[in-house]
Structure 1
Amino acid sequence: MTAQHTLPSEGVLSPANAPDMKVKRGGLWRTFLLRRLSRLATSIAVLVTVAFLAIRAIPGDPVRMALGIHASQAVVDARRASLGLDLPIWEQYIRFWEGLLTGNLGDSFSLQLPVTEVIGQRLPATIELAVLALIVMLTFAIPIGLAAAALTRGGRRRGLELGYTTVSGFVAVIPEFLIGVGLIYVFAVQFQLLPVAGRSGPNSYILPVLALALGGIAGISRIVRAEALFVLDQDYIRTARAKRMSSWRLYMRHALPNLLTSSLTIGGLVLGGLIAGTVLVETIFSWPGLGMTIVSSIMHKDFPLAQGIIIVYGLFVLLVTLLVDVVLVLLDPRSALKEN
């Protein structure tokens, strides 16, 4: 009897093909990173161009707004020349890129301070608000969604399912600024339990964080519920049930880990949106972050400050999206293979 020899399959690692698999994996990573970085560079170029053009599309003279209506035309013209606003638009665009690449975003017309200094002072307040809102979202959305799936699985408790989907769907579509106004009216005006504005202590964080988080809790919990219903219908869950595993252990040990990947992915994407969502919420609560600053800079046509804040917002969203993509590939390398 002669021995039969079989070649190792593509998916089986052996001493012979292990180096090839490592080379292939390294190539996939390089391709993945090159694609993502090229997309990031393209997105940044588009972002900078939009930031440059959008603020200039707003009617009004920024120099006249900064100097006041009583300033003479000669003073206005001299100020415009000193700022380079009398140059052709294409030359202003090139100068803008030059300053951006050297870290010089210019000086704010209205505040008479370097834009980088203004952003450095006010960015922490915005990040605090967004990160706290994200933590609150995930802390409540994941268990709510998992509990809703467990209670309504298999078509049980139709009334509870209808009530949950109706309420969560309604809350998810309410704009943050309307939620903020409602929270102010109830907790600050009617009951006077919390401060209405400012960033003066732990209590001042509650209302703006809730205004940002409530819609996200409703929306993310619906996604978690849908994912949980799918997970709870898998064969390994049925096997665990057949072994009479306790419900707590079943959900915490088997269902929850399979939900965390999608939940964290959604959370990362939501964080980028939260930064943009802080604009109106900060204005409502007089929060000293970038949101209130960009509203003021646009009203005054403060080119350097508005451009700088728009770019910071956009870069934050782009970098968070890139980080989410990298984490997904680390958790599931097959996602990089699918793109290639």
Structure 2
Amino acid sequence: MEAQEQKRSTVNAVLPARPNPTLLRRMAGSSWIGFVLNRAGGVLATFVVAVIMTFLIVRLIPGDPAVSAAGQNADLVRIEQVRQELGLDLPMPVQFMNYVTGVLRGDLGFSFSLNSPVSDGVFSRLPFTAGLAVLALLVVLVVAVPMGMSVGILTRNGRRTWLGSAFGYGTAFLSAIPAYVMATALVLIFAIWLKALPPAYSAGNITAAIILPCAALSIASICSIARIVRRETAVVLEQDYMRTARGWRVGTGRLYAKYALPNLLTTTLTLSGIIMIGMLGGAISVELVFNWPGLGFGIVNAVKTKDYPLIQGIVLVLAMLGSILTLIVDIVLAIVDPRIRG
């Protein structure tokens, strides 16, 4: 017995200590800390660039903001008074510091076209733009991924060439149509000819009014994502693990849902983040067609009236909204594919 105990102690001294499960979990979780800090640094950098650009870009708009704020019929005394109230008589560095300080306090300035704080005008319109963009993205993912996978499976190994050709030409044509042209066509077909849906925003029937704007934003993106998913499906189906799964006679639903789909989501979600940013830009033209009371409609009116505090606020919020949505997509990607955290 003593010899066995001495032998066991000798072996334990030679072998490395068994790792602590709690410590391993903490080490595994540390990858999340580095990942989130890295992405948060990107959001911070976007914020800094957006603040600088929004401050400088409105200075390039032709015309005097003080004249626009005071009114075309105002005299020189009133214009100078408004210029002092807006701080436009101060040196440029002082104006920039005042702007940065106000943004950090949550004060985006005062809109003279709305006669109210910029934050009120921006955040009253933000839910309309964000809701439209998020709904359009969900529609894109729900429609594009199954459609692309189905066509990729049906046309595998050169089968059904007619389906592959029709899918390729059809999606290429639809994805090339600008959002505002698609919006106009949808209004013409469904609102004027068929009289099935309202042609513009209606506060009393917002559920029906959002259908056409959502379709105008999502159709081109659906086609673009579906084309990529189809190509990715063709590549995944030829992988060795898919051949092995088919050799083990795994059920069709389980084969594609468990083994093929997860390997498609990384590329699809990455592109979805880029498409979401494009949707925020396309929402401006779509909102004009459908009279949708979002940030796009607001920024056009702000440019017309040369309301530079409102322009700064809307552009800054759109930039940060796009950055935050990209961060959310990155986090979802890290959950789906843990290798990204590395």
Give TM-score scaled by structure 1 length.
0.89
Do residues 323 (structure 1) and 328 (structure 2) align? yes
Q: Which residue of structure 2 aligns with residue 288 of structure 1?
A: 293
1:195 partner SS: coil
> Could you tell me which amino acid in structure 2 is paired with residue 285 of structure 1?
F
| Aligned partner (choices 84, 90, 98) of residue 87 of structure 1 | 90
1:183-231 per-residue CA deviation (whole Å, 9 max, x = no partner) reads: 1122222222221111331221111110001001001111111221122
Q: Which runs of 5+ in 2 are unaligned?
A: 1-6
| Aligned partner (choices 45, 50, 65) of residue 47 of structure 1 | 50
| Aligned partner (choices 52, 55, 59) of residue 62 of structure 2 | 59
> Could you tell me which amino acid in structure 1 is paired with residue 50 of structure 2?
L
Q: How does 1:136-151 map to 2 (within 5 A)?
A: 136-151=139-154
> Could you tell me which amino acid in structure 1 is paired with residue 271 of structure 2?
I
Q: How does 1:227-266 map to 2 (within 5 A)?
A: 227-266=232-271
Q: Which residue of structure 1 aligns with residue 3 of structure 2?
A: none
2:149 partner SS: helix
Q: How many angstroms apart in 1 are the aligned matches of 2:311 and 2:72? A: 22
Deviating more after overlay: 325-334 vs 24-33: 24-33
Do residues 119 (structure 1) and 133 (structure 2) align? no
Q: Deviation of residue 21 (structure 1)?
A: 5.0
- After superposition, the Cα gap between the structure-2 partners of 1:7 and 1:161, relative to the gap in structure 1 and judged at 3 Å, is farther
1:40 partner SS: helix
- After superposition, the Cα gap between the structure-2 partners of 1:245 and 1:212, relative to the gap in structure 1 and judged at 3 Å, is same
Q: Which residue of structure 2 aligns with residue 11 of structure 1?
A: none
Contact 1:133 1:209 in 2 (8 A): yes
Q: How many angstroms apart in 1 are the aligned matches of 2:269 and 2:330? A: 11
> Could you tell me which amino acid in structure 2 is paired with residue 291 of structure 1?
G
Contact 1:119 1:290 in 2 (8 A): yes
Q: Deviation of residue 81 (structure 1)?
A: 0.8
Q: How many angstroms apart in 2 are the aligned matches of 1:333 and 1:246? A: 26
Q: Report sequence identity in percent.
A: 41
- After superposition, the Cα gap between the structure-2 partners of 1:78 and 1:295, relative to the gap in structure 1 and judged at 3 Å, is same
| Aligned partner (choices 73, 76, 79) of residue 73 of structure 1 | 76
Q: Which runs of 5+ in 1 are unaligned?
A: 9-13
Contact 1:125 1:288 in 2 (8 A): yes
Contact 1:199 1:205 in 2 (8 A): no
Do residues 208 (structure 1) and 213 (structure 2) align? yes
| Aligned partner (choices 170, 173, 188) of residue 170 of structure 1 | 173
Q: Which residue of structure 1 aligns with residue 135 of structure 2?
A: 132
Q: How many angstroms apart in 2 are the aligned matches of 1:27 and 1:145? A: 36
1:31 partner SS: helix
Q: Deviation of residue 16 (structure 1)?
A: 3.3
- After superposition, the Cα gap between the structure-2 partners of 1:299 and 1:238, relative to the gap in structure 1 and judged at 3 Å, is same
Deviating more after overlay: 51-60 vs 153-162: 153-162
Q: Name the count of aligned residue pairs.
A: 331
Contact 2:69 2:82 in 1 (8 A): no
Do residues 36 (structure 1) and 42 (structure 2) align? no
Deviating more after overlay: 254-263 vs 202-211: 254-263
Question: As a proportion of its length, which structure holds more helix?
Answer: 2
Deviating more after overlay: 213-222 vs 272-281: 272-281
Q: Which residue of structure 2 aligns with residue 305 of structure 1?
A: 310
